[in-house]
Amino acid sequence: MTHPFSFSAPLQLDSRALEDCIGLDQRCLNGFWSARQWQQELSEAGRLCLGSWAEAGERRLVGLSSGWLVAGELQLMLLLVDPHWRRQGLGTRLLNALFNAAAEQGCEGVSLEVAASNGAARSLYEKLGFTTSAKRRGYYRNGDDALLQYLNMCDCKSRTDNRPD
Helix 90-104 × helix 119-128 angle, to 10°: 50
C-alpha–C-alpha distance, residues 90 and 19, integer Å? 21
Task: For residue 129, give the nearest of 105, 80, 163 by alpha carbon.
Answer: 163
State yes or no: is 73 an active-site residue.
no
pTM, full prediction: 0.84
Hey, is 120 helix, strand or coil?
A: helix
In the set 55, 108, 113, 139, the catalytic residue is 113
C-alpha–C-alpha distance, residues 90 and 82, integer Å? 10
Per-residue pLDDT tens over the stretch 43-61: 999 999 999 998 766 678 9
Per-residue pLDDT tens over the stretch 26-37: 999 989 899 999
C-alpha–C-alpha distance, residues 116 and 144, integer Å? 7
Please state, in angstroms and as integers, the Cα–Cα distance from residue 77 to each residue in 29, 95, 156, 163, following that order. Answer: 13, 11, 20, 29
State yes or no: is 113 an active-site residue.
yes
Q: H or E stretch including 152?
A: strand 146-152
What mean pLDDT comes out for the span 112-140? 92
Q: H or E stretch including 148?
A: strand 146-152
pLDDT above 90 as % of the chain: 65
- Provide the mean pLDDT of the chain: 86
